[in-house]
Amino acid sequence: MADLKALADAVIKGDQNTAVEITKAALSEGTAAKAVLDEGLIAGMDVVGARFKKNEVYIPEVLIAARAMKMAMEVLEPELVKAGVEPIGKLVVGTVQGDLHDIGKNLVAMMLKGAGFEVIDLGVDVAPEKFVAEVKASGAQVVGMSALLTTTMPGMEKTIKALQDAGVTAKVMVGGAPVTETFAQKIGAQGFAPDAASAVDTAKSLVA
């Protein structure tokens, strides 16, 4: 039997090759794709997320772990689709208009994928209309917005207003260095996350 704990460990260490090898071996032995996802990849990213919250690891280590998870996910995804395994939720994420910063947003997207969400990443400098169009097209339940500059934070409020005007019912979560919980509440966002690991918890609470 493939060792799914070893798969989780490979993700934690950021060992891409081992993560891919164990994923392939597990599938060829007939291990259920959902078990590989839950007990291997998600279990590994959960540990990384918990350590990140406690400041035991930092962004570089999280990115390396997330890359290992992503490589294994590429092997696993077709099998999850075949098995009819549904993601736990669907999110549209992007950095707001006028802001070109993406490290935090990329990290959040990777952590969410690692937690079993389907993530549609719109990239940076995303206009409110683009968020609205993508949420409508995809039926996403949650919109995640990031800003790293105080000057681009008003873009979050504009986007929330555009979503409301379009009659979109998706919940909104926001984050980024200058963003606070008070600001999130003021602009009408339903969720706020101070870091990527917390973003996973926030997203889970919004789709529950």
Q: Where in the chain is the domain with CATH 1.10.1240.10?
A: 4-82
Measured distance CA(74)–CA(30) in Å, rounded: 17
Measured distance CA(33)–CA(104) in Å, rounded: 29
In degrees, rounded to 5, the angle at the alpha carbon of residue 104 between the alpha carbons of residues 115 and 135 is 65
In degrees, rounded to 5, the angle at the alpha carbon of residue 54 between the alpha carbons of residues 17 and 118 is 50
Q: Where in the chain is the domain with CATH 3.40.50.280?
A: 90-207
CATH topology of domain 4-82: 1.10.1240
Q: Under CATH, domain 90-207 is a member of which superfamily?
A: Cobalamin-binding domain (3.40.50.280)
List, for residues 123-147, the tens digit of each pLDDT value: 999 999 999 999 999 999 999 999 9
Q: Supply the pLDDT for residue 137.
A: 97
- Two structure tokens written together for 36: 């590989």
Across the strands, what pairs with 120?
Answer: 92
Q: State the pLDDT confidence band at 2, using cuts at 50, 70 and 90.
A: confident
* Averaged pLDDT, 41-53: 93
* Averaged pLDDT, 31-56: 94
pTM of the predicted model over 0.75:
yes
Q: Which is more confident, 115 or 182?
A: 182
Q: What percentage of the chain has pLDDT greater than the value 90? A: 90
Q: Is the pLDDT of residue 59 over 90?
A: no
Going from the C-alpha of 205 to that of each of 14, 170, 199, the distances in angstroms are 28, 13, 10
Q: State the pLDDT confidence band at 186, using cuts at 50, 70 and 90.
A: very high
